[in-house]
Amino acid sequence: MTDPLFSPFRLGPLTLANRIVCLPMYLAYPDPDHEVNSLVLDYYAEMADSGAGMVVVENATIEPRGLTNPRSLLASEDRFMPGLARLAQAIKARGVPAVLQLHHGGRHAKRADCIAPSAVETWGVTPKVMDQPTSTASSPPLRPGRGGRKRRDSTLWSCTAAWAIS
């Protein structure tokens, strides 16, 4: 009998070589300006080469006011998209599906100007309550609407395509 742990596995539209998944961890490898660098690329390439069936990349914060740690990846502006696209390609080039964990720290963000769905004090800071215009502005990858329609007017779309299932 074949061990199911090491057998190919279908997860929705993805086919994984096995059921082992490299889970996301905060590594503090990105540059201080939150960009993908060679250390990030090398680490995730090594994880893709490890034999895992899928690699999930650590939290990429979608809005600067949602940062919970320094040296985290940001996915809030077009300038971050080429690096994130290179990261997806570094993993996928090794035949492993790449998944990006999107993140917003809400009231747990370690900033005086943090925003959250409600004004619940955390660590001595009460976040600004997000209203509809704030929440729309805080998630540039998506526009309001059923299922969140992707923006196609910037490099964000090409980055999304890089992470998409091929």
| Number of domains into which the chain is organized | 1
Tens-place pLDDT, residues 30-66: 999 999 999 999 999 999 999 999 999 998 998 898 8
Query: For residue 148, what pLDDT is reported?
Result: 43
Average pLDDT, the chain: 82
Question: pTM score, two decimals?
Answer: 0.79
Here the CATH number for the domain that contains residue 39 is: 3.30.750
Residue 67, domain member (yes or no): yes
Query: For residue 95, what pLDDT is reported?
Result: 94
- DSSP string spanning the chain? ---GGGS-EEETTEEESSS-EE-------S-TT----HHHHHHHHHHHHTT-SEEEEEEEESSGGG--STT-EE-SSGGGHHHHHHHHHHHHTTT--EEEEEE--GGGSSSTT-EESS---BTTBPPEEP-HHHHHHT-TTEESSTT-EEP-SSHHHHHHHHHS--
Residue 100, domain member (yes or no): yes
Residue 99, domain member (yes or no): yes
Residue 145, domain member (yes or no): no
Domain range for 37: 4-104+150-163
Residue 62, domain member (yes or no): yes
Q: Which residues of the chain have pLDDT under 50?
A: 135-136, 139-156, 166
